[in-house]
Structure 1
Amino acid sequence: MEDFLATAVDAAVREWHATNWHPLKGDDVAVSWLNALFGPDPSVEGPAFTLSGLVRAHKAWVRQLQVAGDAAFRVCLRLEVPDTPEANWPVEFLLQARDDPSLLVPASEVWKARGKTVTYLNRRFNEPQERLLTALGYASRLFPPLERSLRERRPTEAALRTDEAYTFLREAAPLLEQSSFGVLVPPWWNKPGRRLGARLKVNSSKEPPSTISKGILSLENLVAYQWEVVLGDQTLTREEFEALVRLKAPLVQLRGQWVVLNPEEIEAAIRFWERHQAEAQMSVLEALMWGLNAEGEIDGLPVGDVEVTGWLSDLLERLKQGDQPDLLSQPEGLEAELRPYQQRGFSWLAFMRRWGLGACLADDMGLGKCLARDSFVYVNGLDQTAERAWSSYAKDEWFDGEGFWATPSEPLLVNAIDEERGRIVPAPVRRLYRQYVRETLRTIRLEDGSSITITHAHRLLTRKGWTNELEVGDDVCVPAALLWEGQPEDPDLVTFLAWQLAEGHELPERGTITISQQETERLEELRQVLQRIGQRYGLKINRPTIRCSSSKAPALTVNSQAYRQFLEARGYEWGKGSREKAIPPFIMQADLESVRLFLRNYFEAEASTVPGRRSIEISSASPLLIQQLSVLLRRFGIWMRLATNQKRATNGHGLFRTYSIGTIEGTAARTFLQQIGFISPEKQRRLEEICAPMNNPNIAGVPASEIVAEAVATTRRPARPCGMHNPVYTAGSQQFSRASLERVVAAGDGPLSGAAEQQYRQPRRSRWTAQTLDACAGLDEEQLSATQQQSQYLLDQEIFHCRIQTIEEVEYDGWVYDFEVAGHHNFVANNILCHNTIQTIALLQRDREEHEQVPPALVVCPTSVTGNWEREVRRFAPEMHVMLHHGADRASGQEFLKQVEAHDVVITSYGLARRDADLLSHVRWSTVILDEAQNIKNPSAQQTKAVRRLPTDFRLALTGTPVENRLSELWSIMHFLNPGFLGSQKGFRAEFALPIERYHDQTATQRLRHLVGPFILRRVKTDPTIIQDLPDKLEMKVYCNLTPEQATLYEAVVRDSMQQIEESEGIQRRGLVLSTLLKLKQICNHPVQFVGDRSPLAGRSGKLARLTEMLEEVLTIDERALVFTQFATMGEMLKSYLQETFGREVLFLHGGTPQKQRERMIQRFQSSDGAPPCFILSLKAGGVGLNLTAANHVFHFDRWWNPAVENQATDRAFRIGQTRNVQVHKFLCVGTLEENIDQLIESKKALAESIVTADESWLTELSTDDLREVLTLRPEAVGE
């Protein structure tokens, strides 16, 4: 028994710590021992002498645990407070029950005992006198003042001087507790408020400084403050403090309360008085630091309280509220309508701007921390708990200050809803997230029996959209069908396993199965199936036998360790009891035909039809198995309602136990009939009978009652002409089924076409005819048409709606989980659908409208997005003047300063911010904005130092990743925003980075969150109310600059060619135009392609540089890309350059590629193991006829200028079989013919397919002036 308990406890501890234990680092043998206790490897390695020392220390420690008592009780010491300050402190000796610490037996009662036991309050203590004396003798070695009491024959207590009482409290009590003694001390001892400390009082005026109205609060502004020394909650004057010190006692009474005065704190207080004797002034920055994080030390004294008055107190309260600013109306000059989340972001930025506090707008950081650990998530075709998904797939964890992120160890797919099309789609998981919380969660239970436990912030999809404002009776969206394209499985294995799970009993330690079934013919079929399995896989199966008995059902008995091992190798858990049975992963992940076969056989064995309820019912003692069946059925669009019930067991004992019940009825039963069905003709006949009448179980309904009711009331039509047999649907007592709503939609066609009115004017009339004809005469066609469209939209959705039955608040202490899902940002859990720069431009526009004279704002961003910033400012704020400080001919000196004065926004790159740091520092900017602020994550980099020196009244950082790997990155961004707020880099590392990153210190984490939280507005990409879901195919234009070499060649070609074109006509002119276009496109690609030499490629092409950057990101996340180019020579150049740059094989398919080699390339690229990540294709050779769905990135390196041709190429990746979002990147060189022709096509997009021919010959029809405008190089084309 002891061995069993030891093994069970060891396994339980290791399992719990598998997700909670973070291995310690160090060479000490004690560290190795701790890691061995909690980690997967139980061995402790080290030199022999250190291991023997560890064993001796462990034995001594264990002896200490036993000396204080036994399993029933222990010796306890209780320190009492004296009646007067001069009296001794009594320590009372007691026996304390281990299972009830409140049960205490005084030593005086122990000494009254005459035998070897003491009975006290019906509890029995064995050998108490001997154990008491032994324990006190041991305790006296830990705390020698106790020896005095042992001189008595029957000691009951010890008397301590005040200094000894202090030593007992501070040193002896912890040692005694470690040795398993009970220790009771006065309650005030463990309260932090009974020691010397410091209190800070910051006094600001009632009204803020006048400069704040202009948004120019400087963090260097000064406010008055005063430090006070406190003892407990009592303020000490210098005289009171000196009087207490003269007592030379560590424990003193102050105003009736005992407080602690230890020597270290006295010394600290003396130093404190010397440095802080009067009122002084501190900066707003320091005041904010103390106000947001009132923990810390000052000159060695702990700071216990910070009191702030005046306007600074108001500011602190607003900062602590976070994302709850007073909402502002959007600026009048903003050419866009802000969504609610954008309005909040803009209002928050304006609030921070008003106070001059640097702000960080962070995209896509938190994920909602939504799911409890036991919530089921549909991942890779498996229904598994969120906790299991994390432990199975999370790798490369990192901490972001709140929780832990991880990348998937393998590609993960979940089901999500594409809201634009109302379709359930597979979507990849980019990252996993978990966070430890102690808070109230809520369990949402639906009428179909499914439930989910989520945080209050988490949103579900309802008729109101994605919301966390959930109430009983709300309709929650659930997927109509789950998607997974699995692999086919052996039909014999699927069939036998279905019966084995349904009716089988397995012996845990042997390969024995017994399958019971009344029909011996069925058992004979199964015996033959098993024999075929054995032959197919070479498994030895010992004579499967069918046994019949008069007292028991016939049974097939099988003995085969080989079969057992075969199943276990495929993930099957052998020998589980009925409560723990589970469908193995290879069945859950199988293709639809294999799942159909499994369900048909399992339901044949276990399910029954219930004619009275017109339903199919199935039960199982295993909640997991019934949940798995529900998931498999949902793959066919079959909804099974779940419940629990007490039912008599069928295992021979006949005891009542809890069973999980699944019920299929109504439309779901008919779908089951069509898609699955029973094997037995009799069962199939009964199923057909119950499915014959229409039956709406009011589950999986469509919430259209309000829509239809409004239409009925408006049009005044009776229920029957509206397609309803009675008014229960419009009364709200029953939801529409899909079939009943389809009839309503169809019934609307007649009135709209006029056919209904003609029909009702026929001689055959009813009592409703007059009312119906009146309704037709005054028909509100617009209302009826809108109702039809809204109802049809609901019908077109691949989702069901189920009402919330209950919402229960639950106290939760543990990990919560979430998943960052690409593209659609939602996923299916427990069969339930869970869950920019415009704010910045709005802020700049508001500044311009609020104030007459505003200095210009500076935007610093990566070179590749400078053009995008310029376009977005011009688009959304056309009244603002934008200047691009960029390129070789950029302004400098006085010319630059003059140009800046005439503009509202100046845009430049990080490279130029470093290179032109002195020039940019001559301007006092109203705002400095860093886009992609992670570019300053290295605090010692030159560009980081350069942007920190830029003079400004307000700093703003835009980033998706304030912390990518290390907290030092957060410090760097915060040091830019509010210099000095987080202290020095060295101090930050010691106070926060090391404790959090190395030791996962929750206290340090909380303090850091309090400090930085008010300055970071997180915008969560997974929240569909914030950012609309991306489409399946996301097309983007990538704007690139020319290098000076490219620009020189480009202008020379344009100059020479335009002169020849002006002098030519007809065919000659068309030929010249086409050859010019060809040359310019080659130059835009790369000078080497135009010149035709074999010189190096690096650093000479803006396109090539940007392609390299983007492909590096694709390869980093283990995704694949197609690169299309019109030119075989460019393809060869790209292949050589990319292979050399990334050290990975790159495939290249062109018109000259032989057919067999072409097929091998496609097969290799589509394979999963070790495939080349990049495939270059010439547009003509690879644009049609290929299936390359392994790629989800498509790069058009050069443009064909025909949308149809480009779309054909894109469809190599975006076609049937593609399970991920496809990102299409179309490269354009800014200020060249590429951008001009693109704008020309976009301006005539509606006519593009008719006016744009299959090649570029349509461009030859342009007039010479139009052609010159298209070809001429603009100044912004040239990069740095």
Structure 2
Amino acid sequence: MWVVHALCGSNGRILMWAEDSELPGRVSGRAPSGPVTHPFAVRADRLREQLPIGASEEPVVELHLPSYPSAPVGSPELVRDPLTAGAKPRGKLRLGRWFVPSVSCDAAALRELLDAVPAGCRLGSDARFVLEVAGFAEQLVDSGRVLPGLIREDDRLAARWCAALSGADVARFGALRAGMPPALRARGGAAPEDVLRELLDVLVDGRARERLGGTKLGTGRSAAASWLDALSGEPHLDDTPKLRALGARIEDWRAGIARRNPVRTCFRLHAPEDDEQDWIVEFLLQAVEDPSVLVSAQDVWSGTSHVLRRWVSQPQELLLADLGRAARIVPELERALRDRQPTELVLDTEGAYEFLTSAGQLDNAGFGVLLPSWWGHAPKLGLKLNASSTSTAGVVSKDSAVNMGTLVDYRWDLALGDEELTEAELEELAAAKVPLVRLRGRWVQVDHKRLNAGLRMLSESGSGQMTAAEVLQQAGESGQDGSQPLPVVGVNARGWLGDLLSGDTEQHLEPVDPPDGFGAQLRPYQRRGLAWLAFLDRLGLGGCLADDMGLGKTVQLLALEALARDGVARPPTLLVCPMSVAGNWQREAERFAPWLKVHVHHGGDRLGGGDLEGEAGCHDLVITTYSLAARDRAVLRQIRWDRLVLDEAQHVKNSSSKTAGAVREISARQRIGLTGTPVENRLAELWSVMDFANPGILGSLSRFRARYAVPIERDQDSAAAAKLRQVTGPFILRRTKTDPTVIGDLPDKIELKQLCNLTGEQASLYQAVVDDMLQRVEDSEGMERKGLVLATMSKLKQVCNHPAQFLDDGTALAGRSGKLQRLEEILDGVLADGEKALVFTQFAGFGGRLVPHLSARFDTEVLFLHGGTAKSARDAMVRRFQDPDGPGIFLLSLKAGGTGLNLTAANHVIHLDRWWNPAVEDQATDRAFRIGQRKDVQVRKLSCIGTLEDRIDQMIEEKKALAQLVVSSGENWLTELSTNELRDLVTLDREAVGE
């Protein structure tokens, strides 16, 4: 393993050297008499092979490093095997002189070079610090905060760019100086500030030349033209008297700017208050290193500004010189310079607007600028749509003839933020001659071109009628530029349309009961859910019922079918679900609404073509599976369906999958998705479910990603999350079991993290898998890399479970796995108390090995449900386990048994291996923690301490926040980790191995 280091070199280049943990750790048994080669240092030719991007060999560099008499101290990042490192050096620690072979690269290529370090390399603290300084240099160059120079470099003249620090730059420079690793000063005894300044200027010069791209800056043959050309091309120049004289003048100019760095002039703009008309630009002096130190120009002229004396001896001269420079940016400042002792500048509104728009230039030039807090955050002028439906709010009866084509009255208004503007205020805005106008006691910025376009639209089509669907479309575009001349800043509606747009429709609608004879007494929240579903049904709108697992999505959907078909003839409903719950739907329909005619489209003898169409027409509910929806898509899309329901709708989370494409082709009057996990990994999954329910409601996927997914997932943008909740609110109903207002009679769920040790055999296998991955992952990319990472994660989980699972050698299980030992201890207690447990594993093959082992260990029957279990056997297992006298241990593969089952006889849930997807794990837990459970449920998640299972737990907790942020994650996210992140994740700690 190598540790790569970086240092500031000469001639605008960066030096790099590396330590190798495989090299010997001693020089000799006695102290060297003079500088010798660093014993861990990598040869320059080997280093150049590994760092080929612009790297060239340099002479050896002498470094002063912490050392023992016989050997230097390896850097903290150099992890060496204690068995091969030799004897530990002895003696007093001191600074020793060592030669290291090095290579150098152009500063402009530094980031690309260090980002490309190969597998088996890690960056030292100095190299990471250099990268941080490189980022600072990029910001300075990209914002123009640089100065050109002409300096002497190795007995030659060189044109170089350097940093021009001001304001916050100085504060950041100070923070970098304080955090600079000592290794960066290893070339000599220079002060930290000088070392950092030299490094920053080298990186600034490289970035500036990269940005210029060889553009010629000078014209002619003068010394100045040669210097300008050298600022973008070859930096070195012939040493001539004219160039030396030019260099002296340039250095005087730069030194004058540098002398002004400790204190700068600051401009503070005061807006007029009450009936005042004048804007005041106050002049102040500000300490750059402590911006809170502000001295007014009045105090500067009166001589009472003693606080500035430690930074500047002549503050009056500094103020006048800075005002002269600033006047080149804001010409109005020349008026202030007519006074012998200028303290402020009085402006009218037009001048104030020009000053505000010039503030960025003043800041870039190194001045301080303090503006009113509302500038940049002022409310935006936009359009507000007011719509009114004729029906009374909350009262849309089943006989109401309202749908998305229903015409509603509308009126457009201009608004400032959320506040609608009166006609008088609009006239005032239109009459204003400058973009700054004071309205309702606050100043706002107005774009007159867009204002006039908005006023024209109001006069031409400011009111009338539009369909309810058009109102919803405008609501979806709220907050962005759409088809209107101004952005739509809000949509306000009354009546049933207002209920829909409120995003809290469930609370506005009166609870609804299913028809007489329905075989269940709905809870209050289920009656509200039924009212919401019936509301969408009457409008022909799709929706997503996203209640937590166990809250009764099945019974609410069946109640909707019973209510909608009560005395009304309708085409059949098609329900698509996983095979594992098809029988459950059939039984529940027979239990709650036996008059509903149910047909199951499944099996080798299933109907096709016209036969299926005729049979479906004689039934109310047709049940099929996702696999058959894709296989029989041509038949299913020919049938006229009243409603299309997707149970476990996360099966279509990948919008480009064959299954998602098949169900989208099926035509139905309404579409409903049922899922307890509308977001598992990425927000694109939510888009897919919502686009199924109401095609186009969230726009295209690319637009959704740009507007919501990227800001929320990458930046945790709360405003974007709030907007997404608002847009999707009318079409998603989500209730959780942890909300006491939803359900107060569920017992507690107690989650426990159980940490297990590895055996020696497990640890050896684990390390072998890690070493193999780290050797191969750096040379792979794209799908190959993703496949390698996922395969490795699966192998490591198998090792953590049991060596026999990973080796697949059929050997005995007893005594070889710390996790299996812990499982046995837990089950001992469960069975001793006369209770029952569900044990989930994602590996069906390992589950098959566990069944005989656990049966023999506890002398009891162990049930096992997996993907190959027939439907009849599955149903029989559930019945036997739910029987009080039935078996006490139910082993389930996570995919086959994680959804659609009611197993409330168990009050213990054990996750033997982690799926690393909290949504999937929670679904599995909900087989026991659901309505009908009368005992507290204990959930144990087994992880091996000091392994990736242990470290990944915190990452799981962080991923939960994504789903909760918007609506309330598989494992593909792991493939996006960098090699260094993967290494940190899978490294085995010493504490992992048990005694």
TM-score of the pair, normalised by structure 2: 0.49
TM-score of the pair, normalised by structure 1: 0.39
Higher relative contact order (CA 8 A, sep 6+): 1
